[in-house]
Structure formats: structure tokens, C-alpha cells
Chain A
Amino acid sequence: MTVQLEKVYTPSAIEDKWYQHWLDNGYFHAEVNPDKEPYTIVIPPPNVTGMLTMGHVLNNTIQDILIRKARMAGKEACWIPGTDHASIATEGKVVKMLKEQGIDKNSLTREEFLEHAWEWKEKYGGIIIQQLKKLGCSCDWERERFTMDEGYSKAVLSAFVKLYEKGLIYKGHRLVNWCPVSKSAISDEEVIHQEVNGHLWYFKYPVKDNDEYLVVATTRPETMLGDTAVAVHPKDERFTHLVGKTVTLPLVGREIPIIADDYVDPEFGTGCVKVTPAHDHNDFAMGERHNLEFINIMNDDASLNENTPEAYQNLSREDARKAVLKDLEKQGFLEKTEDYVNKVGYSERGQVPIEFYMSEQWFMKMSDLAKPALQAVSDSKIKFHPEHWVKTYKHWMENIKDWCISRQLWWGHQIPVWYHRENPKRLHVSVEGPDDSDNWVQDEDVLDTWASSWLWPIAVHNWPDESDDLKYFYPTDALVTGPDIIFFWVARMIITGYEFKSDLPFKDVYFTSIIRDKKGRKFSKSLGNSPDPFELFEEYGTDAVRFGTMLMAPQGLDVLFSSTRLEVGRNFMNKLWNASRFVLMNLEDGNIPEIDLDKEELDIPERWILSRLQKSIKAYNRQLNRFHFNEAAKVLYDFTWNDFCDWYIEIAKTRFYGNDAHAADVSRAAAIQVPLFLKNCGLM
């Protein structure tokens, strides 16, 4: 007996019922099984603060198709889920929550703050896991991990210790990207450059013991308080006679040298450049070349500090700018002002301009680590889909810089370095910490979040323990992720794969499209153009949304989101339902006839539909194997809609309602093959 279908398709009841049934039966769970070939996917762990977006729908539907295909093809399919502690994002949320409760983070000890943070995480974190279940993801939920759970943390700290012992991690007083809101260093990738209409101000710096003055131009007047030189090009004859002399820095009164450096472009501006080594990358380099003083003029919130004249101390950088300009003008040092379009780096999290800020940070030497990871992609051991991302990857890996891995936050993996109380130059670096802990103080900083998620494919199996799971499920098979984190995450996982396991972490990387609105704009909360997936699930049905999303996402191209495609998805689901229902209704007593189609002398329509079915299966598998999910969805759509519903079902009616009982049975046996295929195709 087959199951009969309701007249009207009601997606949510059916989806919820079967998802629960699958969970109850443990179908998503995988175990080490030497008789089967493993197939593993690790989910890109969403931020624990995250909520499901259409980007997640796209990404996780693709992963679900791949894992279901593997599972149904007889492999031990393991899709490992989890969440990322998202250091800076979560800390921001907790600080905000505390503020709403009238608690200032600075009034808490680290331990107190972390208690609040864990409480927040338990209460609000991980909603996205429930949302992924609603999307129908067949993850092995028994293996859910969190990048700050005990085993995972051990892996993160172990990696630090191993790399430190190899001499690849060092502490340096360097210029870093600084977010004045989160009061932390941030990576280059967390800096978003935006064009800003600003000004170029020209100042006069008087030459000491001389009537001459040099004119310098800047977009950041307040930084002049930290100038320690003025530079000109060595061959610029206009200034040769001044090199070696000094100028008196207006407002400050400091005497600073005039230096000659090839970096200066004599054709640009006045040919004279103010040098602020502690607040600009190029000036930092000049400062090192000429042994200049590095004067940090800012506090960690970008207000001005005690290294500036008293009048400017504790002013915000914006107020300090106004004050400096006013004073320069008053004292006759402001020559002119021009309009200027400037590219300003903004902190992705803090949404304010970043500062280049001198601070003591931990860095990781990347060039040697990157070599095997670069080779693996160049040799196609790891394949990128679409392939054009290889070029971007190679360019970055060939020019990789040292990575600033420390963050001035509390929520995260505290750096496993201890300083001896009596001699802070004596360090202890280990996972467990020193035995005589009272004599030591641990480094205050935490690791960059990516310095934990870069271990995801191995740490989910509690590396560095060599467990059976790690041996069996690693390397993983496919990684499905957004191209925006190719450096943050993908490249670094390849690095750790080779560094710690001497093997690639995954064989294929599928970079998803970016979903945009009809006007081509990226979805964003502030634009209010991002649809809520749950409203769409409600309106169209989850399978319809999954199917529609697959239809609209060609490999390598941005997706213009259209609800029309979701309507196509919904119509398709209804068509499928009605066609299946029709076939089932016409089975005698609900039984599929005991007919061996291989032994029957079939008529043309039956031979045709079975042939079309085989070709569609082939095309469907081919498209999935080359990661062309939209093409795969189209194969299903065209076959079901055109061949099966428009033609074969119409023909089958002549059999079902005709006089030849045997022909009717043959037709029933043939017709049922199509719904049986469609239900097993993993897409819905």
C-alpha cells in the first residue's frame, strides 16, 4: 500500500512532520564505519549572534543537497554543524545589553564580564541553529560544536603554542588598524574603504633660523600634533639646501628635522610631506628608516592624549581637528583649504573611521605557512568552483603579510602566554598554563576570531588528539562558503590543514553567489531590502524557497533576488504534489502493479518517458557533480513539468481510463517511477 496524499499541499505541516521523523530516527547521525566511504562537510559556522538570512538559505541548501546525495549514495555522510563565538560581534552585543541594564563594561572585572557573556550566549546565542533546522538541514546535530567549547578551545591554544614554539608567533610594537569603538586592533579585511568628501589643508611649517617655510598638505590636520619630521625627495632641488635643517612644529613648538626620502613624490602637492610615524603606515616606514621619534598622540578611543599640548588633551579627534585648524588659522599657519575626495577606512564593526595606532600586538609570520597552501590550490589538489577565485587566492597568498592575531577584547580565547610577576620578560607559553600560577600574569588579549575558526575542520574532531573521528572524517570533501571570506577563513583553513595535518582540509570549495535585490544592491539591514526567510517559508513553503533559490543562483554570478522565482518554486511544488497524487489515486487499491518493466514489450510513450527519466537523472547528476546547482534544478523542473506532467500524464490518462487493463498497469508502473525519482533527488 502506498500513502495517499491530501488534496491540497500544505508545506509547513508536511515539512515539520517529516523533519521531526528524520530526527527521531537519527538519520543525520554519522559514525566511523570502515565499511563505508566517508563524506564530510563542515558547516561555515554562523556567528552565535547570527540570524538566518537569504545568504544562509542559499549556502546551506547547497550543503544539504551535497550531503543528502552522499548519504543516499551509500557513503557515511557527516555534516558537522556549529557556531562561531564571533569575538568582536558578540562582545559588542553583550556590552550593549549591559549598557541597557545600566552596567558599564569598565566597571566589571574580566571574570564578571565573561559570566554575563556566557549567560547571554546561553540565552540568545544559537538561535540560528534552530533556524537551520527549520530550513531542513540534515546536519549531524549530535556533533554540534562551538568555537569556545572546551575541546575546541584546547585546539585553538594548542595551535598557538605549536606555532609559537616554531618561532612563527612574535610580539611587536607595530602600527595596526585600530577600531576606536571596540578599542581593539582589527584585521585589514575588517576595514571597509569608503570615499568621503573632505578637504586638503595646507600648513606652513617655519624653517628654524631662516625666513623660509615649508608647506605641507594633509587630510588629517589633528595628526600634525604627532609630526616628527618633514620629508622631501632627495633630488628635489627646491629643497636640497634645507635637508638637515629643522622646522618648528606650529602649536607644539617641537623642532623636527627636514629629511630626504625616495618615498616622497616631488610632483605631488607641494613636494613636502609631514611625517607622523605613529599614525600612518608610510610614515611609520620612514620613521624606521630615519630613526625618527614615534609619538602616539591618541588614547584608545581616538581622543587626544597627554603627548599633545594641554589645550587638545582629551578632545575627540573631531573636536581636536576643529581646534587645531582654528589655532593654525589664528596664528597664520593655515595657507589654504581645498575640497578633496578621500578614501577613508572604516571599521566594519564599529562603523567609524579606523586609526593607524601604535600598539603592542601578537603577530604571526605567514609567508612560510602560506607556501603549501598556495601550492595545493595552484596544483588543483583543492579545486575552486568557480575557478576564477584561484587567481584572487594566489594573488593574496603570494603577497601575504604577517597577521595581527591579538585583539583587545575579553570574549574569546585568551592568549596562552604568561608573564612572570617579578620579571615580565620571562614568558611561559602553554595550553594549561604554569603550575605556579600565582607567580604569573596571563596576557590580557584574546585571539582574533579567525585564529580559532581557521582550525574548524580539525578542531571539530578535537585535534590535536588523534581520534578515530579525525582519522576517518578528515580531510573533508566540499566546503561551501561565500567568496567574501576567502582570505579570512578559506585560505587559513588550508594553511592549518597542511601545517597540522599535512593534508588538505577539503577537496572542493564552492563559492556561493552574493544575493542582491532587484536593483543590484547588496542585502543589508540598514537598507531594509533583505527579506526575512521565515516570512518566505510561511508564504511559499520551505521547499519552494529552497528550490526557487537554487533556480536563481547560477555559479559565479551574483543573484538578483526575485520573488517570481519563489513563485516558480511554489508552483513546481504544487505541480509535483498534484502529479504524484494523480498517479497514486490511479493505483488499483493503492498498490503499484507487480510489473517488471524490463520484461514488458512497452509502447512508445512508456519507452519514451523511461528514457527521458534516465537522461534527466544523468543530467541532474552531471550538473551536481560540477556544482551547477541552478542547472540541476532546471533539469528537474523541465523534466517534471514538460515531459512528465504536460505529456506523459495526459497520455497515461488514456491508459488508466481505457479498456486495456494490462496497458493501464504498465502505465501505472512507468508513471510511478517519476515521483519515486523526484522524491529521492535530494533537492527538496
Chain B
Amino acid sequence: VKRADDPDLIVGQWPQANDNKIDDTAEKEMELLQKIVTGIRTVRSRMNVPPGSQSELIAKCDSDMVVFLQKHHTIISALTQTSSVTAGPDQAKPEQKRADEINGHLMEISKKLSNEKFISRAPQSVVAREKEKQEEMSAELEKVNANLEMLQ
């Protein structure tokens, strides 16, 4: 790395620190940004999100953090491959709503499947469909609960 008018490095200037550029506020803020990026990367990795694919970021946080996330949105997005950011204090609500819905559905299915009359009378394909739905919803509930846990 040499500019045309730079002296050769062997006779260049020995580096001296410029105290005016030491900026603890920026370092603190950057540290937080690094923690957020690392956190998101960890979640993606834990949830087996393929490296190339984009994910949505939902963050439950206070209003200061919302400002922070908005301020550094470009960097966070580029460094974590998150396409959109939804942040706020109530970010758990939609997830909770979905969890309640699933739980409701699962209870209904469970009732049906434990009803002997339903099992014996309904066509086999219908019973199989209910079981399939039960499995799908259980899997979704697991993910939603995991998200909820992170958003608590």
C-alpha cells in the first residue's frame, strides 16, 4: 500500500496514536452492534437457516433499541442477511397469538383423534389427514415457542 508520493516504508513515519480519535462512545455502540450481529448469526445457525437465504428479523426491544436497529439497519442487514426488521416492545404479541391459534387447533385435532367413533367411522384418508395436520402444527408450535422464548 503505497501512494506515489509516500516515502518507502522502511523510512516511513513510525505510527503514533492520535488520542483525539480515541472514542469510547463509538466503541461502546459498536460493541452493541457486534453483539446484535453475532446474536442474529447464532440464531440463524441454530435454526439451520442456509447461509445464502434471507431471513426476517423480529426483535422485541425498547424504543431506544428500535432507534439503534433502524440506524444500523443497512449494516445489520448486510452482515446477517436479514431482509426486513420489525422491532418494538410488543413483538411477542403476534407470535403469542399464533401460538394460541395453533394450540386451539391442536386441541381440536387431539379431541377428534381420541374419539373412537371418529376413528372407526371416518374414512381412513380423513384420519390420516388429521394426523398429518397434527404433526405439521406441532412442528410449527415448536418454532413459534422457540421464537417466543427469544422474544420474552
Q: Which A positions have Cβ atoms within 8 angstroms of B?
A: 1-3, 5, 18, 21-22, 25, 27-28, 68-69, 71-74, 138, 580, 583-584, 592, 598, 604-605, 607-608, 610-615, 617-618, 620-621, 647, 650-651, 653-654, 658, 672, 675-677, 679-682
A605–B75 contact, CB under 8 A?
yes
- The interface centre, meaning the residue of A580, A607, A672 with most chain B CB atoms within 10 A of its CB, is A607
- Looking at the assembled complex, report how far the CB atom of A552 sits from the nearest CB atom of chain B, in whole angstroms: 24
A604–B18 contact, CB under 8 A?
no
Complex partner residue of B11 from A71, A610, A654, CB under 8 angstroms: A71
Further contacts, 13 of them, CB under 8 A, given A25-B8, A72-B14, A611-B27 = A69-B14, A138-B10, A605-B30, A608-B27, A608-B29, A610-B21, A611-B22, A614-B18, A614-B22, A615-B22, A618-B17, A651-B75, A676-B1
A2–B13 contact, CB under 8 A?
no
Q: Is B122 an interface residue (CB 8 A)?
A: no
- Looking at the assembled complex, report how far the CB atom of B77 sits from the nearest CB atom of chain A, in whole angstroms: 8
Question: A interface, by DSSP: helix, strand, loop or mixed?
Answer: helix
Q: Is B87 an interface residue (CB 8 A)?
A: no
Q: What are the 10 closest A-B residue pairs judged by CB atoms, nearest first?
A: A607-B26, A72-B14, A608-B30, A675-B1, A611-B23, A73-B14, A617-B17, A614-B17, A618-B17, A680-B12
CB neighbours of A620 from chain B (8 A): 15
CB neighbours of B2 from chain A (8 A): 2-3, 679
- Looking at the assembled complex, report how far the CB atom of B99 sits from the nearest CB atom of chain A, in whole angstroms: 35
A677 to B14, CA, bound (A): 8
B56-78 to A contact mask, C-beta < 8 Å, 1/0: 00000000000000001011001
A651–B27 contact, CB under 8 A?
no
B1–A2 contact, CB under 8 A?
yes
CB neighbours of B3 from chain A (8 A): 1-2, 592
Instruction: Assess A679 versus B75: contact at CB under 8 Å? Given A604-B29, A608-B23.
Output: no
Q: Is B9 an interface residue (CB 8 A)?
A: yes
A68 to B19, CA, bound (A): 23
A72–B11 contact, CB under 8 A?
yes
Q: Is B120 an interface residue (CB 8 A)?
A: no
- Looking at the assembled complex, report how far the CB atom of B14 sits from the nearest CB atom of chain A, in whole angstroms: 4
Q: Which of B1-49 contact A (CB under 8 A)?
A: 1-4, 8-27, 29-30, 33-34
Complex partner residue of B14 from A608, A618, A651, A680, CB under 8 angstroms: A680
B23–A653 contact, CB under 8 A?
no
12 contacts between A and B (CB under 8 A): A2-B2, A2-B3, A604-B30, A608-B26, A614-B21, A615-B17, A617-B16, A620-B15, A621-B15, A679-B1, A679-B12, A681-B15
- Looking at the assembled complex, report how far the CB atom of A18 sits from the nearest CB atom of chain B, in whole angstroms: 8
Q: Is B146 an interface residue (CB 8 A)?
A: no
A1–B14 contact, CB under 8 A?
no
A618 to B14, CA, bound (A): 12
CB neighbours of B75 from chain A (8 A): 605, 651, 654
- Looking at the assembled complex, report how far the CB atom of B110 sits from the nearest CB atom of chain A, in whole angstroms: 48
Complex partner residue of A654 from B8, B27, B34, B78, CB under 8 angstroms: B78
A230 to B29, CA, bound (A): 86
CB neighbours of A607 from chain B (8 A): 23, 25-26
A617 to B19, CA, bound (A): 10
- Looking at the assembled complex, report how far the CB atom of A392 sits from the nearest CB atom of chain B, in whole angstroms: 34
Instruction: Assess A658 versus B10: contact at CB under 8 Å? Given A615-B22, A617-B15.
Output: no
CB neighbours of B119 from chain A (8 A): none
A679–B9 contact, CB under 8 A?
yes
- Looking at the assembled complex, report how far the CB atom of B76 sits from the nearest CB atom of chain A, in whole angstroms: 10
B1–A584 contact, CB under 8 A?
yes
A613 to B22, CA, bound (A): 9
- Looking at the assembled complex, report how far the CB atom of B11 sits from the nearest CB atom of chain A, in whole angstroms: 5
Beta-carbon nearest neighbor of B31 in chain A = A608
B78–A650 contact, CB under 8 A?
yes
- The interface centre, meaning the residue of B15, B16, B24, B74 with most chain A CB atoms within 10 A of its CB, is B15
A658–B23 contact, CB under 8 A?
no
Q: Is B79 an interface residue (CB 8 A)?
A: yes
CB neighbours of B17 from chain A (8 A): 614-615, 617-618, 621
Beta-carbon nearest neighbor of B2 in chain A = A3
Beta-carbon nearest neighbor of B71 in chain A = A604
A604–B15 contact, CB under 8 A?
no
Instruction: Assess A604 versus B10: contact at CB under 8 Å? Given A617-B16, A618-B17.
Output: no
CB neighbours of A617 from chain B (8 A): 15-17
- Looking at the assembled complex, report how far the CB atom of A82 sits from the nearest CB atom of chain B, in whole angstroms: 21
CB neighbours of A71 from chain B (8 A): 10-11
A359 to B130, CA, bound (A): 109
CB neighbours of B23 from chain A (8 A): 607-608, 610-611
B8–A22 contact, CB under 8 A?
yes
- Looking at the assembled complex, report how far the CB atom of A3 sits from the nearest CB atom of chain B, in whole angstroms: 5
A620 to B16, CA, bound (A): 10
A653–B78 contact, CB under 8 A?
yes
CB neighbours of A21 from chain B (8 A): 8
B21–A677 contact, CB under 8 A?
no
Beta-carbon nearest neighbor of B5 in chain A = A1
A605 to B78, CA, bound (A): 14
Beta-carbon nearest neighbor of A620 in chain B = B15
- Looking at the assembled complex, report how far the CB atom of A619 sits from the nearest CB atom of chain B, in whole angstroms: 9
Beta-carbon nearest neighbor of A610 in chain B = B21
Beta-carbon nearest neighbor of A607 in chain B = B26
A614 to B33, CA, bound (A): 20
A72 to B78, CA, bound (A): 39
Complex partner residue of B72 from A72, A604, A618, A650, CB under 8 angstroms: A604
A74 to B14, CA, bound (A): 8
A607 to B24, CA, bound (A): 9
A27–B8 contact, CB under 8 A?
yes
CB neighbours of B9 from chain A (8 A): 679-680
Beta-carbon nearest neighbor of B24 in chain A = A611
CB neighbours of A72 from chain B (8 A): 10-14
A319 to B74, CA, bound (A): 89
- Looking at the assembled complex, report how far the CB atom of B39 sits from the nearest CB atom of chain A, in whole angstroms: 15
Beta-carbon nearest neighbor of B29 in chain A = A604
CB neighbours of B24 from chain A (8 A): 611
A2 to B4, CA, bound (A): 6
CB neighbours of B79 from chain A (8 A): 650-651
